[in-house]
Amino acid sequence: MIYFDSDYMAGAHPKVMERLLKTNHLQTVGYGSDDYTKHAAELIKDACGKPDARVYFLTGGTQTNATVIDGLLAKHQGVLAAESGHINVHEAGAIEASGHKILTLPQHEGKIWASELKEYIENFYNDDTYEHMVAPGMLYISFPTEYGTVYSYEELKEISDICNKYQIPLYIDGARLAYGLAAENGSVTLKDIAALADVFYIGGTKVGTLFGEAVVITNPTLLKNFFPLIKQHGALLAKGRLLGVQFEALFEDNLYEDIGLQVVNKAIRIREIFKSKGYKIAADSPTNQQFICLPNHIIDQLMPNVSFELWGPRGKEETTVRFVTGWTTTDQEIETLAEILDKL
Amino acid sequence: MIYFDSDYMAGAHPKVMERLLKTNHLQTVGYGSDDYTKHAAELIKDACGKPDARVYFLTGGTQTNATVIDGLLAKHQGVLAAESGHINVHEAGAIEASGHKILTLPQHEGKIWASELKEYIENFYNDDTYEHMVAPGMLYISFPTEYGTVYSYEELKEISDICNKYQIPLYIDGARLAYGLAAENGSVTLKDIAALADVFYIGGTKVGTLFGEAVVITNPTLLKNFFPLIKQHGALLAKGRLLGVQFEALFEDNLYEDIGLQVVNKAIRIREIFKSKGYKIAADSPTNQQFICLPNHIIDQLMPNVSFELWGPRGKEETTVRFVTGWTTTDQEIETLAEILDKL
Amino acid sequence: MIYFDSDYMAGAHPKVMERLLKTNHLQTVGYGSDDYTKHAAELIKDACGKPDARVYFLTGGTQTNATVIDGLLAKHQGVLAAESGHINVHEAGAIEASGHKILTLPQHEGKIWASELKEYIENFYNDDTYEHMVAPGMLYISFPTEYGTVYSYEELKEISDICNKYQIPLYIDGARLAYGLAAENGSVTLKDIAALADVFYIGGTKVGTLFGEAVVITNPTLLKNFFPLIKQHGALLAKGRLLGVQFEALFEDNLYEDIGLQVVNKAIRIREIFKSKGYKIAADSPTNQQFICLPNHIIDQLMPNVSFELWGPRGKEETTVRFVTGWTTTDQEIETLAEILDKL
Amino acid sequence: MIYFDSDYMAGAHPKVMERLLKTNHLQTVGYGSDDYTKHAAELIKDACGKPDARVYFLTGGTQTNATVIDGLLAKHQGVLAAESGHINVHEAGAIEASGHKILTLPQHEGKIWASELKEYIENFYNDDTYEHMVAPGMLYISFPTEYGTVYSYEELKEISDICNKYQIPLYIDGARLAYGLAAENGSVTLKDIAALADVFYIGGTKVGTLFGEAVVITNPTLLKNFFPLIKQHGALLAKGRLLGVQFEALFEDNLYEDIGLQVVNKAIRIREIFKSKGYKIAADSPTNQQFICLPNHIIDQLMPNVSFELWGPRGKEETTVRFVTGWTTTDQEIETLAEILDKL
């Protein structure tokens, strides 16, 4: 069986695992006060070009989103997000559980439009009853989005400008950030993200760590009491250095960037294989998630040997499926996929 | 330097780490639906003598407490706990953040008294204004307690009986459960815990895993929708099998029990060393945390070579300190400590 | 100036005020345990044909919605509602503040469709990832809706059947219930509402009281600990009898029904006046809120003498406006409006 | 029967009721934007000597406490209060329901000591683990306290100074403020309260209104978005002018002050009657709540003709009871009480 279900099916990248092994017996203080964690934070600040940023390490994506958003919002505020945003769909109400409404914007292949963001905010303040409504207190976007798409630099800049104008922090969910930075024809760098976002996180779980997300706070006025909030959200890892050690591995020797590039290249190769065989590409994704529209009989023939996800419910004749590559995906697996398709 | 600060300063026990390594490249589904996790749950149910229990794996203790307690309480209820209970002191308000009051009982070396529990509940319902007050909806105790003490079987049974009488679930925080089960002169087994508690958790973080706590639900009427609540609390690990794999290691070949016994024995040995040299034992702990009252000049002389925690603020002439053993503690380290003390 | 802005611009109906005056100096116990409140509850249960219902009196609509919904939902559940539902738009995030997501359904002139409700629930449970999403735990509808429309008996029955099938309580917001029951060509009675809803409230604030909403719980398994929840939500009135006294006035001698009929008749008369003069009716409302599309120059000419609300932002040439009648609206005021329009 | 149970058993003071009647048919905008409410706010600011204060009107005490405290605290903070504070005992967990812990201080006849407040805060920041604990974010005190006692000016000043030093807002619950200001041998004026507190509320419910509490925000940096928070807490009265009209009545012609003085004088008279007959005074209260320790047989003899509350459970031979006076209490009722006691 070859697996293209998701990018979090295996453990850690060998270089990450090696460091965990090497440091396993060392004794350090807990909760992220150790030197590994401090060093990892320095490496990240360097990579971001933000020497004054603050960096915190949490365990998972939903946890990170819930903690950051809870910290950024005042009690009467909600968070703007695309209807398809992860926080709005697949986090089991974690944002609302901390007391805040998600204010939805239309999604366009997973992205929001700056124009619709602006319109939402302006309509809100033009409404005489706005004090009876939930105020837009921040913006959440994901990069890449839940549909594998990415914003161009210009799009991000325009969004960021609107956020600045209305003094609404911009928070970027970077669960798959490495794949967004390595996007085919992409124009956004890590330094761009750090310059445009007020807060963002660099996802580790889907890019080679066992677990772990690095929150980068570039706007010094925000999240001033983030540590107790991490604890309050049950998001403080006792053996905090495990996060530091893993992110050290990712941010030394360009490993994070390298994984991003390799994994995206493999996904593009898969898309081209399907395309060359005449299958319909369901959404034009430049990152490590590819959406293909396959006839149901093809799906049935693939399933015994190839593992992948149906994207939405089965259609009558054809169904959209998702192929995801990860750091474990090998060229050999992709060739095997191509051969299987050849034989159908 | 030899370390006795806490039992979560190093990584994972070699047998745990070995399994993580061995399974690192395997591809499995996420969120705990994999076979390793299922197998670990079976091992735990066997060890508990509770074939019908449900077992869930979370990452850390505060997270586990917050998620379980949130799931057990109705909106108008609070959780009874000792004043010194971890949830009341060192969880940054995680329980209140999910909307619930902690109703405190007096603590006696970290333990509550069954008589005072009963009195609290009866006084509550005897008060004409009780519907204006927070109803006691469950009981939280820790085993061993935050002060290293343990309940006897009889004490636990009495507490459990009161909980049953008033239909208040009993939840046991087992962050250091292995050390409570291995307590000097202890009378409580894992099967006892499983028989008396409605819900409890078996701590991994402090007993040899990188992280991880196993929630055991023995009362089938409780926490029926626990999975989405785990997700909502940001407590669902994407690579869930990491928890299963680690707990498989702990619950095969008696590793959990073995670690418990060895670590407690080492702590008792430390206590005896201090006692034999005439130092005052501050609290009579039968588990892996030992509290000794040391003259300040002795503390100052130890510090360059021995790492341990001051317990509370420095006194004028003497100060209570805490020595904790863990799976990393060696006989050699204890002998070194003894030698250092000899030379003072 | 004549006022058609809303139905809560004046104090209480004379019969309500008279009773408040008459009982003003009496001394009774607080918090709704007095005989007036008990009697009012009996009157309401009679009117509903539900001798076993439980009735509670709260102060305002948002408060009532927040308290009831918080009480009905489990922690992992959200409330289904029309996008245009009051709880989703104009309650400043009160539902989310108690930890719950609002799951929105499309609105059709303020109403939801049974078919779309069914589809939502079925799609939810057909989604493999549903445990990562917020479960639909109840349905909120308003009767009449925020746009003045009402459900027919058949529509309500169909919705209620779906709720029963999926064991999701149906809660009806009756802020303007009297006007829905008196709707032009309406087919729904108070007994129907009581038979079909699990919980609903009978609005007083907009139907002749100073303030006050009566929550009727017809499903005996629900909201078993509602009293402490009312207190927790800050919704328990110290001088609770004020609510009982006012609802006694409404439910003796058919006052509630009478107000409903008179007020709706006046609103229909206003609609017919506008229609007869050739103005466009913006939405076909059978209740006490009428929406008319007026040329801007007509609006400008009316404003010095007639008070009403713009409904949404000003259009370029014409704008939708809202005319609302209440128990204070007199035939004379309506004739004056007709005369003013005649002269334009 | 003569009643001394509480100060909220009757409706409104005649002067308040008269105004409600007089304005009953007027049409005004809702939610507190009307001129009555604005005028009442001006009267209150004048009485407080705080022209720049902001004043908001809410319906009840628990509601007011929950809304203000939720607005003042950051997510990681809790509120300091006496163990006996109303928010800690009799508000059904309203503070915790909005996510915040109550951090308790010892109570001394209902009051906290400045020295213990200082000690709490200093110990907190001296604890190395303070970021794992709930930070003290504000102080709640009641004036008078739940036991009828009052702080002297010096005591309040000392408490206020500590709050300022540690930048912790001081919030005063003035449910019975009028009786605290009129306290026997009292030294605190309304202007003092306004000068020392950052936020406080002037209770109406227990001092002559049907309902209503006026929140006064004297520190301009606090509660900047209080209006939407009031709405979110379900605390925004639709017919907001009812609050304005009632507080106009209280703050014109010194009615608030007059009620305070008269009611306290009557309570003192009751205390003196009991004292003169040799009964034991249980607590030395200078306000409108009096606590007397009566033999059980005396209680039994009084009960057929006099209504009052047992304070705590019945003792074996004697029991503490509470006598409360209100604006309805007459000299005649007190003489009747004296006569009944004479005959026992």
Closest chain A residue to the Cα of B8, Cα to Cα: A239
Q: B91 in contact with C at a CB cutoff of 8 Å? A: no
- In total, chain C counts a number of residues equal to 344
Longest dimension (CA), chain C: 65
Domains D2-6+256-343 and D14-255 share a fold: no
Q: At the top level of CATH, which class does the domain D14-255 belong to?
A: alpha beta
Q: B288 in contact with A at a CB cutoff of 8 Å? A: no
Q: C63 near C243, Cβ under 8 Å? A: no
Q: Do residue C75 and residue B74 have CB atoms under 8 angstroms apart? A: no
Question: What pLDDT is recorded for position D314?
Answer: 87
D313 pLDDT band (50/70/90 cuts)? confident
Q: Do residue A96 and residue C92 have CB atoms under 8 angstroms apart? A: no
Q: What is the mean pLDDT of residues C111-139?
A: 97
Question: Which residues of chain B neighbour D99 with C-beta distances below 8 Å?
Answer: 93, 96-99
Question: What pLDDT is recorded for position D124?
Answer: 96
Q: What is the mean pLDDT of residues B259-264?
A: 98
Q: Tens digit of pLDDT for each residue in D103-149?
A: 999 999 999 999 999 999 999 999 999 999 999 999 999 999 999 99
Q: What is the pTM of this model?
A: 0.97
Q: Tens digit of pLDDT for each residue in D249-263?
A: 999 999 999 999 999
Q: A11 in contact with B at a CB cutoff of 8 Å? A: yes
Q: Tens digit of pLDDT for each residue in D290-304?
A: 999 999 999 999 999
Q: Do residue B76 and residue C135 have CB atoms under 8 angstroms apart? A: no
Alpha-carbon distance A7 to nearest alpha carbon in chain B (angstroms)? 10
Q: At the top level of CATH, which class does the domain C2-6+256-343 belong to?
A: alpha beta
What is the spatial distance between Cα D202 and Cα D247, in angstroms, rounded to a whole number?
10
3-state SS, chain B, equals: CEECCCCCCCCCCHHHHHHHHHCCCCCCCCCCCCHHHHHHHHHHHHHHCCCCCEEEEECCHHHHHHHHHHHHCCCCEEEEEECCCHHHHCCCCHHHHCCCCEEEECCECCECCHHHHHHHHHHHHHCCCHHHCCEEEEEEEECCCCCCCCCCHHHHHHHHHHHHHCCCCEEEECCCHHHHHCCCCCCCCHHHHHHHCCEEEEECHHHCCCCCEEEEECCCCCCCCHHHHHHHCCCCCCCCHHHHHHHHHHHCCCHHHHHHHHHHHHHHHHHHHHHHCCCEEEECCCCCEEEEEEEHHHHHHHCCCEECEECCCCCCCEEEEEEECCCCCCHHHHHHHHHHHHHC
Q: D215 in contact with C at a CB cutoff of 8 Å? A: no
Is it the case that residue A283 has pLDDT exceeding 90? Answer: no
Question: What pLDDT is recorded for position B91?
Answer: 97
Other CB atoms within 10 Å distance of the CB of residue C275: 13
Q: C22 in contact with D at a CB cutoff of 8 Å? A: no
Question: What pLDDT is recorded for position D312?
Answer: 79
**Residue of B17, B59, B242 to mutate for A, most A C-beta atoms under 10 A:** B59
Q: B90 in contact with D at a CB cutoff of 8 Å? A: yes
Q: A126 in contact with C at a CB cutoff of 8 Å? A: yes
Contacts of A276 (CB under 8 A, 6+ apart): none
As a whole number, the mean pLDDT across chain C is: 97
Query: Closest Cα partner for D143 from D155, D158, D127?
Result: D155
What is the spatial distance between Cα C64 and Cα C75, in angstroms, rounded to a whole number?
19
Give D98: exposed, middle or buried? Use CB within 10 Å, 0-12, 13-18, 19+. Answer: buried
Closest chain B residue to the Cα of C130, Cα to Cα: B228
Q: A150 near A286, Cβ under 8 Å? A: yes
Q: What is the mean pLDDT of residues B196-211?
A: 98
Higher pLDDT, B22 or B312: B22
Sequence spans of domains, chain C: 2-6+256-343, 14-254
Q: Tens digit of pLDDT for each residue in D212-233?
A: 999 999 999 999 999 999 999 9
Other CB atoms within 10 Å distance of the CB of residue D265: 16
Q: Do residue A96 and residue C134 have CB atoms under 8 angstroms apart? A: yes
Is it the case that residue A185 has pLDDT exceeding 90? Answer: yes
What is the spatial distance between Cα D99 and Cα A97, in angstroms, rounded to a whole number?
10
Q: Do residue D134 and residue B313 have CB atoms under 8 angstroms apart? A: no
Q: Do residue C71 and residue B75 have CB atoms under 8 angstroms apart? A: yes
Q: B124 in contact with C at a CB cutoff of 8 Å? A: no
Residue with tokens 């005959």: D343
Q: Tens digit of pLDDT for each residue in C28-45?
A: 999 999 999 999 999 999
Q: What is the mean pLDDT of residues C167-188?
A: 97
Is it the case that residue B314 has pLDDT exceeding 90? Answer: no
Strands A77-82 and A135-142 come out as parallel
Question: Which residues of chain C neighbour D8 with C-beta distances below 8 Å?
Answer: 30, 238-239
Q: Do residue C75 and residue A96 have CB atoms under 8 angstroms apart? A: no
Specify the range with the lowest mean pLDDT, choosing from A315-319, B45-49, B64-68. A315-319
Q: What is the mean pLDDT of residues A311-320?
A: 90
Is it the case that residue A322 has pLDDT exceeding 90? Answer: yes
As a whole number, the mean pLDDT across chain B is: 97
Question: What pLDDT is recorded for position C201?
Answer: 98
Is it the case that residue C257 has pLDDT exceeding 90? Answer: yes
Cβ pairs bridging B and C (under 8 Å): 43
Residue of C21, C29, C228 lying closest to D21 (CB–CB): C21
Domain B14-254 has CATH 3.40.640.10: yes
Closest chain C residue to the Cα of D204, Cα to Cα: C238
Q: What is the mean pLDDT of residues C301-310?
A: 96
Q: What is the mean pLDDT of residues B54-68?
A: 98
- Cα–chain center distance at D43: 20
Residue of C131, C227, C229 lying closest to B75 (CB–CB): C229
**Angle subtended at Cα A142 by Cα A155 and Cα A224, rounded to the nearest 5 degrees:** 100
Is it the case that residue A284 has pLDDT exceeding 90? Answer: no
Q: Tens digit of pLDDT for each residue in B83-132?
A: 999 999 999 999 999 999 999 999 999 999 999 999 999 999 999 999 99
Question: Which residues of chain C neighbour B75 with C-beta distances below 8 Å?
Answer: 70-71, 225, 229, 232
The share of chain C scoring above pLDDT 90, in percent, equals 98
Strands A318-324 and A289-295 come out as antiparallel
Closest chain D residue to the Cα of B99, Cα to Cα: D97
Is it the case that residue B312 has pLDDT exceeding 90? Answer: no
Question: Which residues of chain A neighbour D227 with C-beta distances below 8 Å?
Answer: 131
Q: Do residue D93 and residue B76 have CB atoms under 8 angstroms apart? A: yes
Q: C135 near C76, Cβ under 8 Å? A: yes
Q: B75 in contact with A at a CB cutoff of 8 Å? A: no
Contacts of B239 (CB under 8 A, 6+ apart): A8, A9, A11, A205, A210, A211, B30
The ipTM value here is: 0.97
Is it the case that residue C313 has pLDDT exceeding 90? Answer: no
- In total, chain D counts a number of residues equal to 344
Is it the case that residue A314 has pLDDT exceeding 90? Answer: no
Closest chain D residue to the Cα of C243, Cα to Cα: D210
Specify the range with the lowest mean pLDDT, choosing from A77-86, B297-306, D178-187, D307-316. D307-316
Side-chain-side CA neighbours of residue A271 (13 Å): 22
3-state DSSP assignment of residue C320: strand
State how far the alpha carbon of C35 is from the alpha carbons of B229, C26, C30, D8, D205, in Å: 43, 12, 11, 16, 20
Q: Tens digit of pLDDT for each residue in C47-106?
A: 999 999 999 999 999 999 999 999 999 999 999 999 999 999 999 999 999 999 999 999
The torsion region of residue A44 among left (phi > 0), alpha (psi -120 to 50) and beta comes to: alpha
Residue of B89, B96, B313 lying closest to D126 (CB–CB): B313
Alpha-carbon distance C88 to nearest alpha carbon in chain A (angstroms)? 9
Question: What pLDDT is recorded for position C144?
Answer: 98
The torsion region of residue B167 among left (phi > 0), alpha (psi -120 to 50) and beta comes to: left
Q: C102 in contact with A at a CB cutoff of 8 Å? A: yes
Residue of C234, C236, C328 lying closest to D25 (CB–CB): C328
Question: What pLDDT is recorded for position B108?
Answer: 97
Closest chain A residue to the Cα of C92, Cα to Cα: A133
**Residue of B72, B73, B75, B232 to mutate for C, most C C-beta atoms under 10 A:** B75
Is it the case that residue C312 has pLDDT exceeding 90? Answer: no
Q: B148 near B90, Cβ under 8 Å? A: no
Q: What is the mean pLDDT of residues A137-146?
A: 98
Is it the case that residue C135 has pLDDT exceeding 90? Answer: yes
Alpha-carbon distance C72 to nearest alpha carbon in chain B (angstroms)? 10
Is it the case that residue B199 has pLDDT exceeding 90? Answer: yes
Q: C238 in contact with B at a CB cutoff of 8 Å? A: no
Q: A225 in contact with D at a CB cutoff of 8 Å? A: yes
Is it the case that residue C305 has pLDDT exceeding 90? Answer: yes
What is the spatial distance between Cα A20 and Cα A249, in angstroms, rounded to a whole number?
9
What is the spatial distance between Cα B106 and Cα B84, in angstroms, rounded to a whole number?
8
Alpha-carbon distance A315 to nearest alpha carbon in chain C (angstroms)? 14
Question: Which residues of chain B neighbour A211 with C-beta distances below 8 Å?
Answer: 237-239, 242
Question: Which residues of chain A neighbour B20 with C-beta distances below 8 Å?
Answer: 11, 210
Q: What is the mean pLDDT of residues B163-181?
A: 98
Closest chain D residue to the Cα of A134, Cα to Cα: D228
Q: Tens digit of pLDDT for each residue in D273-285?
A: 999 999 999 988 9
D21 pLDDT band (50/70/90 cuts)? very high
Q: A175 in contact with B at a CB cutoff of 8 Å? A: no
Q: Do residue A89 and residue C313 have CB atoms under 8 angstroms apart? A: no
Strands D289-295 and D102-105 come out as unpaired
Q: B236 in contact with A at a CB cutoff of 8 Å? A: yes
Residue of B92, B99, B126 lying closest to D134 (CB–CB): B92
Q: Do residue B131 and residue C227 have CB atoms under 8 angstroms apart? A: yes
